Amino acid sequence: MIKYSVLMSVYKNDKGQYLEEAINSMVQQTVKPAEIILVEDGPLTTELYEVIDKFKNNYPEIFRAIPLEKNVGLGKALNIGLEYCRYDLVARMDSDDISVGNRIETQLAYFEKNQSLDIIGGDIEEFITSPNHTVSQRRVPCGDKEIKEYMKIRCPFNHMSVMFKKRAVINSGNYQHWHYNEDYYLWIRMMEHGCVMANTGTVLVKVRVGKEMYSRRGGDQYFQSEKGLQDYMLRRNIISIPVYLKNVALRFVVQKLLTPSIRGYIFKKFARS
């Protein structure tokens, strides 16, 4: 059986109950992880430490927490955590989502079938109160060519759903800080390094969302982060000037001019199903 690592990060604003559900969804996979690396991104709450201690005691052979003295942000935390992963196949997981039971089994089958594959993600279902009550779904393209074309417009992976080869990520510069978009920045660099990409076309993770999600996707900081990625792709000749202008104009309208409620409607109408 192929061995793999799970890479997670947690910080003080996360909830203990959600973290416990997220980790449980990984230890209960049909193909069990060989290790779970959880980066403690700065000091945490008592509630979170209690959950972490529970998994340390229950799964001492696979569970390892990596404490950081101060909060460094998701990109740097995952950069550090990936270095601790002992296995080349690494599954990302967020601290408040729930992976479906056969997620890893599905992804490993893709790696076994295609030895050149570097990263495989999947669709997500979003929920507010219960994972059994889906409010929206984000679908992403499946084939390598389609993913790389979609990359020029929007992020082609659901970050919490991906499994990748550690060496492919390291060779592409590893995770780096990019406000709100550490993952998108990494996928772009992986594409530049010729990595082979795929999505399953099936739901792999159930994602916890709320009304505040659409507020976070707006404002000047979010716009500048997204524009910065467009600037990067333009400089690297990944996108043309017309595509750049269209992408930036659309983001300016959605992220800076619209209210959160209207932004939420736009996302649900055009970016979700």
Instruction: Indicate the residue among 188, 209, 230 that finishes a domain.
Output: 209
Last residue of a domain, one of 161, 181, 209: 209
pLDDT confidence bin for 212, thresholds 50/70/90: low
CA distance 210 to 213: 6
Decide: pTM greater than 0.75. Answer: yes
Dihedral in degrees, nearest 10, Cα atoms 143, 149, 155, 157:
10
What pLDDT score does 258 carry?
A: 73
Same-domain status, 257 and 187 = no
Integer angstrom CA distances of residue 113 from 36, 106, 107, 108, 209: 25, 11, 10, 9, 33
Q: Are 66 and 39 in contact (CB under 8 A)?
A: yes
Out of 161, 187, 209, a domain closes at 209
Same domain? For 223 and 148 the reply is no
Q: How many domains does the chain have?
A: 2
Q: Hey, which residues does 123 pair with through a beta bridge?
A: 203
pLDDT at 84 over 70: yes
| Residues 158 and 25 placed together within one structural domain of the fold | yes
- Return d(Cα 78, Cα 246) in angstroms, integer: 32
CA distance 64 to 128: 29
Residues 201 and 218 in one domain: no
Lowest mean pLDDT segment, chosen from 137-146, 210-219, 221-230: 210-219
Q: Same domain for 200 and 93?
A: yes
Please check the confidence at residue 270 and state whether its pLDDT lies above 90: no
Query: What is the per-residue pLDDT across 257-269, written as a single tens digit (0 to 9) for each?
Result: 777 767 666 666 6
Do 189 and 227 fall into the same domain? no
In the chain, % of residues over pLDDT 90: 85
- Give strand pairing partners of 64: 37
Q: How far is Cα 252 from Cα 72, in angstroms, rounded to an integer?
A: 28
Percent over 70 (pLDDT), the chain: 93
Domain that holds residue 170: 5-209
Residue 57 and residue 63: Cα distance in Å, rounded? Answer: 9
Condensed to tens digits (0 to 9), the pLDDT of residues 11-57 reads: 999 999 999 999 999 999 999 999 999 999 999 999 999 999 999 99
